[in-house]
Amino acid sequence: MARIIVVTSGKGGVGKTTTSAAIAMGLAKKGHKTAVIDFDVGLRNLDLIMGCERRVVYDFVNVINGEASLNQALIRDKHCDLLYVLPASQTRDKDALTQEGVGKILDDLSKDFKYIVCDSPAGIEKGAHLAMYFADDAFVITNPEVSSVRDSDRMLGILSSKSRRAEQNLEPIKEYLVLTRYSPERVRLGDMLSVDDVQDILSLHLLGVIPESKSVLSASNSGIPVILDEKSDAGQAYEDIVARYLGEERPHRFIDEKKGLFGKLFGGK
């Protein structure tokens, strides 16, 4: 049985797709067969971030409508054999996704995969709801600002009441906080909430902090999940997150301001 992870947030543009691509790649690189699904029907950008946009033949909606088999639609990642992408359709309207259809696809994938990562669209509409409905774990992506934190809080409420696990009275979805686009400088200047502030408001297990980083944009421009950029801070932060999710204990990094050259040479890591 696969473990289904939803990558979610109330707000758009916080880093869901970036995170979905990174952790899916991270899990696959650790030897787990992983599928990552784009639920953002109509926008479709997971395939861009994954660099497989020119290999899309069939999509999620084709499979739901029975126009293609799962095997036909799944795209094997070019960097890692154990990673597959199920792209969203760019042309179809959002109503194409149905709970029944999504459930069937996840069931089928579960037989063969260890992890299924669902990249959720923004908002609390149908697409977002379907992305989280079947989840076992939720990565709640939050930026260190009040509106994003509030949206995440709302999302957590929906996760705990409108999911399959909630409806069937099963063990609740495991919720993890991923704080992205974190800038210690801006926290110091008072422009952003600190890690502690966010944790205090959400009271949620912190899986990791991803720093605001230029490497994210350059990775996405070249269609490579940032986790493969092992030298970058964001790449390392995502690597930490995957390791922690799999049970490893690692200290949090990238929370304090960068040390100068001297500090880098002689201070800790």
Ligand X SMILES: Nc1ncnc2c1ncn2[C@@H]1O[C@H](COP(=O)(O)OP(=O)(O)O)[C@@H](O)[C@H]1O
Q: Does 23 bind ligand X (CB under 6 A)?
A: no
Q: ∠ at Cα 46 (32, 96), nearest 5°?
A: 105
Question: CB-wise, 53 or 153, nearer to another protein?
Answer: 153
Single out the segment in contact with another protein by CB under 8 A; choices: 70-78, 98-106, 195-203, 222-230. 195-203
Could you say which residues in the range 149-178 bind another protein, by CB under 8 A?
150, 153-154, 156-158, 160-161, 172
Question: CB-wise, 19 or 152, nearer to another protein?
Answer: 152
Question: CB-wise, 14 or 130, nearer to ligand X?
Answer: 14
Q: Does 220 bind Mg ion (CB under 5 A)?
A: no
Residue 246 CB neighbours (<10 A): 12
Number of alpha carbons in the 13 Å side-chain half-sphere of residue 78:
11
Q: Does 17 bind Mg ion (CB under 5 A)?
A: yes
From start to end of 30-142, where are the E strands?
34-38, 75-76, 83-86, 115-119, 137-142
From start to end of the chain, where are the E strands?
3-8, 34-38, 75-76, 83-86, 115-119, 137-142, 174-182, 205-211
Q: Does 15 bind ligand X (CB under 6 A)?
A: yes
Q: Does 201 bind another protein (CB under 8 A)?
A: yes
- Which residues lie near Mg ion (CB under 5 A)? 16-17
